[in-house]
């Protein structure tokens, strides 16, 4: 790297800030929640592909990337500090010919309408109007006109659950490199779609998401076309930019019209709107538990979806634990249930004070949002502790009655992979019922589940989106309104008038 021959090559600064923030959550995301990667570390972890073919003739400079687990809104102070860090790092390498923006798209900051657009505006101000900006994003991002006006090149995931994160970043970088090498002038078209659905209904493993996303590939080889991105948007944000959207990027003068393609894709999404549904049986928790108890196969895996920390939920509600403990079939040990993981540092401390094998009266969820769930008080046995998880902090396994085990954590932690259970000595595959705070099941949990249900539980990311009260989203918006007409109309950017 850094050879003499690279001295004349165009340079691309790489910066990013990524988080998915629920505006309905009482929790706040602060600096301590962010993992910050820099320089070589950042290159290795997020951009290992840069050493492959297709990125030559351009010097990529990984600077800083800050990323947080989904959660409540980011505080203004935290946002400003990270923005300052990014701009400071950028300042040191100016001038650059391009900036690669490694974003999520559903970042929501207290007091700001459009955090990604604000961040890009601050960067644009430093780098000037001629600098090429390219962004990679999650398809659960909320994409505004203001963002599209400022960014020249987009690439968004085409899979959910996401398995093309790195491929999407590579595509974004490759397009930037190629555009710089060839000196292309780009244009793009944006179509906002008045549809706002949760990720659990728009998985690309199920129809109609599967066909809609697979269908994007049919445009990929058109002459001059760089990218077709389709966002389903992020449903748990009460903001005017929360809706589905399409952006198509093409080379100016190539004969391929990005507006026409964007309108075609948007029309297809609109036409499919009534067909989106949950991919597993869904219902209120009481109903789901009734069905789970009746199942002869095991384990039955139930998603406690309203309190899913990877969608922006807090992960501290004892709602599901209370419901399971209320069923004698589990309490008496006729069936065995495991409920993971409830974030409650105070209950963990109380268990710690009591020690292993102690039987105590424990209040779980004392500080949880009372709107969604009352605290749950129960006589529990402290089974054991585990201290070696960097995400969860101290974890404690407790037992209620004969057949119920639950995990409480000191810090927020999703339980989405086999090792999350196994390090605690838990064997979810031997359980009759496993309740996880998640939406659609990720690969390990799909493998685990002999049968799966989605429980429409209360919480900050309530899957019953139509029960959530919005004030700021554009109206009409499907599925909040169902009886209205709509026709896609592309907005063009990047063409000098
Ligand atoms: Zn996502």
Query: What is the 258 CA–ligand 1 centroid distance (Å)?
Result: 25
pLDDT tens digits along 416-473: 999 999 999 999 999 999 999 999 898 899 999 999 999 999 998 988 777 788 999 9
Tens digit of each residue's pLDDT (9 = 90 or more) over 371-394:
888 999 999 999 999 999 988 999
**How many other CB atoms are found less than 10 A from the CB of residue 256?**
18
User: Is 63:123 a contact under the CB 8 Å cutoff?
Assistant: no
CB-based burial of residue 157 (10 Å sphere; 0-12 exposed, 13-18 middle, 19+ buried)? buried
- Is it the case that residue 163 has pLDDT exceeding 60? yes
Asked if 465 and 482 count as a contact pair (C-beta separation under 8 A), the reply is no
Report the separation in Å between the CA atom of 497 and the middle of ligand 1, taken as the mean of its atom positions.
36
428 Cα: distance to centroid of ligand 1 (angstroms): 26
Mean pLDDT of 396-419: 96
How far is C-alpha 148 from the geometric centre of its chain's CA atoms?
20
Phi and psi of 344, rounded to 5°? -155, 85
Give residue 136 CA to ligand 1 midpoint distance, Å.
Answer: 12
Q: Give the Å distance between the CA of 356 and the centre of ligand 1.
A: 39
Per residue in 168-197, pLDDT tens? 999 999 999 999 999 999 999 999 999 999
141 has pLDDT over 50:
yes
- Number of CB atoms found within 10 A of residue 427's CB: 12
CB under 5 Å of ion ligand 1: residues: 138, 140
Query: Is residue 152 within 8 Å of 190, Cβ to Cβ?
Result: no
- The DSSP symbol for 2 reads -
Q: Which residues touch 3 (CB under 8 Å, ≥6 apart)?
A: none
Tell me how far the alpha carbon of residue 138 lies from the centroid of ligand 1, in angstroms: 5
Residue whose tokens read 């209205």 = 484
CA-to-CA distance for 404 and 379, rounded, in angstroms?
A: 12
Per-residue pLDDT, 5: 61
Residue 19 CA, ligand 1 centroid: distance in Å: 10
Tokens standing for residue 203: 């998985």
Q: Greater confidence, 365 or 368?
A: 365
Confidence at 267, pLDDT banded by 50, 70, 90 = very high
Predicted pLDDT of residue 497: 39
- Where along the chain do its domains lie? 4-277+488-493, 282-462
Q: What is the pLDDT of residue 390?
A: 86
**Out of 122-126, 306-310, 430-434, least confident range:** 306-310
What is the rounded CA–CA span in Å between residue 368 and residue 346? 11
Residue 143 CA to ligand 1 center (angstroms) comes to 13
Q: Of 405, 398, 413, 416, give the one whose Cα is nearest residue 347.
A: 398
Contact indicator for 434, 427 with CB cutoff of 8 Å:
no
Cα–Cα distances in angstroms (integers) from residue 480 to residues 11, 23, 234, 356, 439, in the given order:
46, 18, 15, 50, 21
């Amino acid at each position: 790297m850094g050879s003499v021959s690279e001295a004349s090559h165009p340079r691309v600064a790489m910066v990013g800030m990524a988080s998915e923030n629920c505006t309905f959550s009482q929790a706040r995301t602060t600096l301590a929640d962010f993992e910050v990667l820099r320089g070589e570390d950042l290159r290795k972890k997020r951009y290992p592909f840069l050493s492959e073919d297709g990125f030559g003739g351009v010097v990529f400079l990984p600077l800083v990337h800050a990323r947080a687990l989904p959660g409540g809104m980011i505080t203004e102070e935290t946002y400003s500090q990270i923005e300052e860090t990014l701009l400071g790092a950028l300042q040191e390498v100016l001038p650059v010919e391009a900036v690669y923006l490694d974003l999520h798209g559903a970042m929501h900051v207290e007091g700001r309408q459009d955090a990604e657009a604000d961040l890009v505006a601050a960067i644009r101000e430093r780098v000037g109007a001629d600098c090429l900006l390219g962004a990679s994003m999650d398809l659960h991002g909320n994409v505004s006109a203001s963002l599209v006006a400022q960014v020249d090149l987009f690439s968004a995931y085409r899979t959910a659950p996401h398995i093309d994160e790195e491929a999407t970043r590579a595509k974004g970088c490759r397009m930037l490199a190629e555009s710089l090498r060839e000196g292309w002038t780009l244009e793009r078209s944006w179509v906002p779609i008045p549809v706002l659905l949760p990720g659990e209904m728009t998985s690309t493993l199920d129809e109609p998401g599967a066909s809609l996303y697979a269908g994007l590939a049919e445009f990929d080889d058109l002459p001059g076309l760089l990218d077709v991105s389709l966002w389903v948007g992020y449903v748990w944000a009460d903001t005017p930019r929360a809706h589905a959207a399409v952006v198509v990027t093409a080379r100016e003068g190539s004969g391929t019209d990005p507006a026409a393609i964007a309108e075609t894709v948007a029309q297809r999404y609109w036409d499919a709107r009534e067909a989106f549904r949950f991919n597993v049986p869904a219902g209120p928790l009481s109903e789901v538990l009734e069905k789970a108890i009746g199942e002869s196969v095991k384990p039955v895996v139930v998603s406690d979806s309203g309190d899913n920390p990877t969608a922006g939920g807090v992960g501290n509600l004892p709602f599901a634990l209370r419901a399971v403990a209320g069923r004698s079939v589990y309490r008496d040990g006729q069936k065995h249930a495991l409920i993971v993981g409830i974030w409650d540092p105070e209950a963990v401390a109380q268990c710690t004070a009591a020690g292993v094998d102690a039987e105590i009266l424990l209040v779980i969820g004392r500080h949880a949002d009372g709107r969604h769930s009352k605290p749950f008080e129960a006589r529990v046995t402290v089974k054991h502790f585990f201290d070696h998880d960097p995400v969860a902090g101290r974890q404690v396994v407790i037992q209620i009655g004969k057949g119920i085990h639950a995990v409480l954590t000191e810090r927020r932690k999703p339980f989405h992979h086999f090792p999350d259970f196994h390090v605690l000595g838990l064997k979810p595959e031997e359980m009759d019922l496993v309740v996880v705070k998640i939406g659609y099941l990720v690969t390990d949990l799909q493998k685990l589940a002999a049968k799966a249900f989605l429980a429409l539980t209360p919480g900050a990311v309530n899957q019953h989106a139509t029960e959530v009260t919005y004030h700021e989203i554009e109206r009409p918006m499907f599925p909040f309104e169902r009886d209205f007409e709509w026709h896609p109309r592309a907005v063009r950017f990047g063409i000098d008038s």
